Structure formats: C-alpha cells, structure tokens
Amino acid sequence: MGARSKARKRALDVLYGADVRGESINEALAAEALRAAADPKRASSWDYARTIVAGVAEHGDEIDELIETYAQGWSIPRMPAVDRALLRIGVWEILFNDEVPDSVAIAEAVESAGAHSTDDSAGFVNGLLGRIAATRA
C-alpha cells in the first residue's frame, strides 16, 4: 500500500472516529496528531492524512452540501458513517487537491468502500463521486 493510500486510511479512521464519537473533526485531528508524534513509524502517512482531514474540516459545509445534492434521495445522516467519511475524503480530493486525478480519488474511495462498508457502498460511492467529478469537467 502506497503512502497516500495509507494516509487516506488514516484520514478515514479520524473522520469516522469523530463522527461515531460525536466530536468535532478538529478535536479528532488534534488527538491523532498526538498519536502520530508518539509513533515516528507513522510519519510517512501522517502529513497527507492531516491535510485531508484539515481540508474536510475547512470545507465541510460545502462538501456535505454537494454530497446531499448528488446523493439522490440520501441525506447525510442516513448514510453509513464509513460512507460519509469516504465521500468527504473523495469530494475533498476531487475539488481541492489538484495533485490527485479525479479517477484516482474515486478509485481509492471505491476500493475502501468495498473493503470497509456495505455490499452496496462501492457502487454508491462510485456513482456519487463520478457525478460530482463530472460537474468539474
């Protein structure tokens, strides 16, 4: 697994954890920063994970609005927490990180949904992120 894939997984852990515990993304980010500082082996994936999580926190309202707009009948609270986190990461990468091609952001989110969420999640994540990416073209 590449450094960016590991970073996405760490970002997923932080966003999912914050969501499930009902804490702010910034609180979860600060707690993870302390863990990262205590474990130098995790340094290679921490910088990008921190960038993702901070970006999702900064643009959260816009990201969630886009997700709900393109989710076709699915509200944010109705989605599984893992899917919410993956979609937020994917939308942030598509809209706010020009270093990652849209196709890579989508593929990574779909792969993670297949591994960590429901049987239907990969298709849902793929379709939703694809529609959002198409609006940029």
The domain spans of the chain are 3-136
Confidence tier at 137 by pLDDT (50, 70, 90): low
The class (CATH top level) of 3-136 is mainly alpha
The percent of residues in the chain predicted with pLDDT above 70, rounded, is 99
pTM of the model: 0.95
pLDDT at position 34 is: 87
5-14 per-position pLDDT tens digit? 999 999 999 9
pLDDT at position 73 is: 86
In angstroms, the CA 90 to CA 13 distance is 14
Nearest CA to 96 out of 133, 47, 44 is that of: 133
Confidence tier at 98 by pLDDT (50, 70, 90): very high
pLDDT at position 36 is: 84
In angstroms, the CA 101 to CA 92 distance is 12
